[in-house]
Structures are given as C-alpha cells and as structure tokens.
C-alpha cells in the first residue's frame, strides 16, 4: 500500500525529507501506511435499504441507498492526506469514513464476514492474490467510473469492471549489500544459495498466511521452482526453515525489526539479524529517495522469483451508491492524485506512461524484474489454499 522519511546508517540521524503527520522514520506497507488515508476505526452499520439490481457473472448484485457518506474498508494503506480527502468531499459532497483491517487478507475476511449485511461501500487494497476469491464469492459489484488510460501491465492480472487498479509494484527479495561485503558473502543469484550455511539465521520472510507481500513471494517461489529447478518449492521452504529462516506475521516485522539494510535500523526494537528479506523491488529506491541518494539495500533480480502486485479499488456488492464509489475511483485515478503515487504511497502509478521519479536515485535503485512470475490469477485462486497448507507443513510456521 502520510509519507516516509528514511534515515540511513552512516548518515546523520534526521531525514532530509519531512513527513506529514506522525512518522519521521517510518514506512509503507510499514513504509508509509499511516498517513495516506485518514484511518478511522469505524464499523458503521449499513444505511438504507438493499434492493436487487441485476445479475452479473452469476452474482446477484445489490446496492443500498445513498446517505452521502462513503465507507471504505482498507488496511493501513497510506494514500491520501486529510487535506486531499477533504478536497474530495468538497468536490463531491461525499464524506469518507474508514473501516481498517490489518492487511489485504483482512479486507477479504471483512467482506466475507459481512457479506449478508455489508458495512462498506468500497474495498481499497485487495491485491491480485486475493481478488479472484472476492470475485468468486460475489463480494464485488461493477463500477461505472470513467477511467483514464491505464498502464497495460496493471491490467494483466484483471481487466474487468469489478475492480480497478490504483497502484502497483514488484515484490522481490531485498539484500543488505554492506552486510554481505563485511561478512565476505557472495551476492545471491539463485534461491537455492540461500539454504547454504552462510545464510543460516540471516533471512526473514513475512508469512504468506497473514501478509500480502509474503503471499506474493511464496507464489513466485512456486513458479521459480517449476520453471528452472529440480527442487520443489516446498522442499526449498523446508530447507529454509532448517536453515533458521525467520518467519514473521507481516512485512513490517520482517523489514523494520529484522532486516539490516533498511530504515528500521533507526527504530526502537530493531534486532537486525537478517541480511535478506521480502519487500518491493523499488524499496531500495525508496530508501535512496528519502536518504539523499544513499542506500545499502539492493533488490535481487532473479528470474521468476518476483511477483507483479496490483492493488485494487472495488465497489462492495450490497454497498452504497454507485455515484459515490465511481466518484472516488475517478478521484483516485486522476492525474493529480495517481501520478504522485511513488512519493505519496511508495508504489508505482497505474496511469499509462508514468514511472518512478529520477530524483535522488529513486528510479536508479529500483530495478524492474527481467522475468517476474507468470502464475495466473485463476491458478492462484484455485491452488492458494493447498499452497498455504503445504507451506505451513514445510516451515512449521503460522
């Protein structure tokens, strides 16, 4: 998924860019997720009456009456400042209230639990490892928003009218190059190398059962080992567990607490026992951007070991007025908002022709994977539960 000011080791403590609101050395996904949207913990009751409108793709589509309040279910994604949200309200007359969950998986769980009496009008933050499940369970409804020209890559996982991409990025392994140099460890070029003794206890992985980046990376490992290795993916995960890999509940703990190569080194409770972790391929670029073009973190471009993640905005089936949802989607995809995703949400824009800024090494330190995973959304939906069961068995982790 406010902003981030990244302080670097060997740099003066204090960041060259200031953050709105509360976090001076904090982050998205962890790295800036507390300032983008005003997150109000509000489980609002559904207003108005439900009425059946149509049947789409075998799903009965319903909507509720419009009470001029748009309720959004999201996780601690950072997207819009209070001022920008107020601008949306001023433009449209719709006020915004939030229901917050812990992660993209929490959004799906919230939608499933409230399917018969939806509490939200818009879901913001389901990604392409969760979207198909939401579609299969008739949790979403078509939008009628007028869309700008979108990056074709953002439409590869899903191009229908039940969800609209609003940001994107590649999930991959990040490594602390300084730690490798200091410990005379070679820069890894394959996943198999990470089971070697020199990596014992030096890797941290967010769990795919509770973390969307963790789920994305696990999915990529399925493809990696099917494409170019005699080892099975779950055999690799078991070997990693035997090599004392650190498994965490989410990205924040893995990156901020355990990883030695990121801004977490300045935070309280930093352990710093992992030279490698799962993040985004542009995370080193973010580190450089907020650290004055300085970073010791590097993204690993290993064929099939990265995953193109797309995050979506989608109307909730049974939620509030079509016009409110459409207005917010159009606002979120406006050039004024979406072109600034790299700075304000630390993710790529989904508008056609946009890229990361060149400023302070953001673009330079953000490699685009040569060959990301090619696993389809449909296969993810069909096999995810069995993958997760196999992963738990292989790692003995939650």
If asked whether residues 268 and 289 sit together in one domain, one would say yes
Pairing of strands 164-176, 276-280: antiparallel
DSSP code of residue 28 = B
Considering the chain, what percentage of its residues have pLDDT values greater than 70?
Answer: 85
Euclidean distance between CA atoms 250 and 261, whole angstroms: 17
> What angle (nearest 5°) sits at the alpha carbon of residue 367, between those of residues 361 and 372?
160
The yes-or-no verdict on residue 64 having pLDDT over 80 is no
If asked whether residues 185 and 283 sit together in one domain, one would say yes
Cβ-based burial of 225 (10 A; exposed 0-12, middle 13-18, buried ≥19): buried
- Confidence band (pLDDT; 50, 70, 90) for 77? low
**111: which 2 tokens?**
């939608």
CA atoms within 13 A on the CB side of 235: 8
If asked whether residues 382 and 279 sit together in one domain, one would say yes
DSSP code of residue 359 = G
If asked whether residues 364 and 245 sit together in one domain, one would say yes
Q: Where are the beta strands (DSSP E) in the chain?
A: 51-56, 59-63, 69-75, 95-101, 122-127, 140-141, 164-176, 203-206, 246-248, 276-280, 297-299, 307-316
Q: Is residue 32 part of a domain?
A: no
If asked whether residues 253 and 277 sit together in one domain, one would say yes
If asked whether residues 104 and 70 sit together in one domain, one would say yes
If asked whether residues 303 and 338 sit together in one domain, one would say no
If asked whether residues 286 and 177 sit together in one domain, one would say yes
Residue 51 to residues 59, 122, 139, 321, 323, Cα–Cα distance (Å)? 14, 17, 15, 11, 16
**265: containing domain:** 170-307+358-395
If asked whether residues 266 and 318 sit together in one domain, one would say no
Overall average pLDDT of the 69-83 stretch? 80
Q: Is residue 44 part of a domain?
A: no
Q: Is residue 373 part of a domain?
A: yes
271-311 pLDDT, tens digit each: 999 999 999 999 999 999 999 999 999 999 999 999 999 99
Three-state DSSP state, 360: helix
Pairing of strands 122-127, 69-75: parallel
Query: How many domains would you assign to the chain?
Result: 2
Q: Is residue 241 part of a domain?
A: yes
Q: Is residue 350 part of a domain?
A: no
Q: Compute, in degrees rounded to 10, the torsion defined by CA atoms 195, 205, 310, 55.
A: 110
Reference 41, options 67, 72, 64; nearest CA is: 72
pTM: 0.85
Q: Is residue 71 part of a domain?
A: yes
198-229 pLDDT, tens digit each: 999 999 999 999 899 999 999 999 999 999 87
Overall average pLDDT of the 123-129 stretch? 95
If asked whether residues 148 and 215 sit together in one domain, one would say no
If asked whether residues 280 and 226 sit together in one domain, one would say yes
Q: Is residue 46 part of a domain?
A: no
If asked whether residues 240 and 323 sit together in one domain, one would say no
Per-residue pLDDT, 351: 99
Euclidean distance between CA atoms 251 and 33, whole angstroms: 12
CATH number of 256's domain:
3.40.190.10
Q: Is residue 31 part of a domain?
A: no
318-375 pLDDT, tens digit each: 998 899 999 999 999 999 999 999 998 899 999 999 999 999 999 999 999 999 999 9
């Amino acid at each position: 998924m406010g902003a981030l000011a990244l302080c670097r080791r060997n740099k003066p403590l204090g960041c060259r860019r200031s953050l709105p609101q509360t976090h001076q050395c904090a982050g998205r996904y962890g790295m800036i997720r507390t300032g983008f949207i005003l997150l109000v913990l509000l489980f609002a009751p559904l207003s108005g009456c439900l009425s059946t409108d149509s049947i789409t793709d075998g799903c009965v589509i319903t909507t509720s009456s419009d009470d001029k309040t748009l309720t959004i279910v999201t996780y601690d994604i950072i997207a819009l400042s209070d001022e920008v949200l107020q601008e949306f309200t001023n433009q449209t007359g719709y006020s915004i209230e939030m229901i917050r969950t812990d992660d993209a998986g929490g959004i799906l769980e919230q939608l499933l639990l409230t399917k018969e009496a939806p509490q939200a009008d818009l879901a913001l933050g389901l990604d392409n490892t969760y979207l198909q499940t939401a579609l299969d369970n008739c949790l979403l409804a078509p939008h009628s928003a007028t869309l700008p020209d979108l990056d074709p890559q953002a439409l590869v996982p899903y191009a229908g009218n039940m969800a609209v991409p609003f940001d994107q990025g590649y999930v991959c392994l990040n490594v602390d190059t300084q730690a490798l140099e200091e410990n005379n460890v070679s820069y890894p070029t394959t996943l198999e190398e990470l089971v070697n003794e020199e990596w014992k206890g030096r890797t941290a992985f967010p769990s795919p059962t509770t973390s969307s980046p963790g789920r994305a990376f696990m999915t990529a490992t399925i493809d990696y080992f099917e494409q170019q290795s005699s080892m099975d993916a779950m055999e690799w995960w078991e070997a990693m567990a035997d090599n004392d890999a650190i498994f965490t509940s989410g990205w924040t703990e893995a990156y901020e607490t355990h990883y030695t190569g990121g801004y977490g080194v300045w935070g309280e409770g930093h352990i710093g026992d992992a030279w490698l972790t799962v993040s985004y391929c542009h995370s080193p670029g973010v580190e450089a951007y907020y650290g004055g073009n300085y970073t010791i973190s590097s993204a690993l471009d290993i064929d099939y070991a990265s995953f193109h993640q797309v995050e979506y905005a989608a109307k909730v089936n049974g939620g509030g007025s079509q016009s409110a949802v459409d207005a917010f989607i159009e606002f979120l995809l406006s050039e004024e908002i979406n072109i600034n995703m790299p700075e304000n949400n630390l993710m790529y824009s989904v508008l056609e022709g946009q890229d990361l800024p060149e400023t302070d090494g953001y673009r330079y330190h953000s490699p685009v994977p040569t060959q990301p995973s090619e696993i389809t959304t449909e296969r993810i939906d069909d096999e995810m539960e069995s993958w997760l069961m196999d992963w738990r068995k292989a790692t003995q982790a939650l």
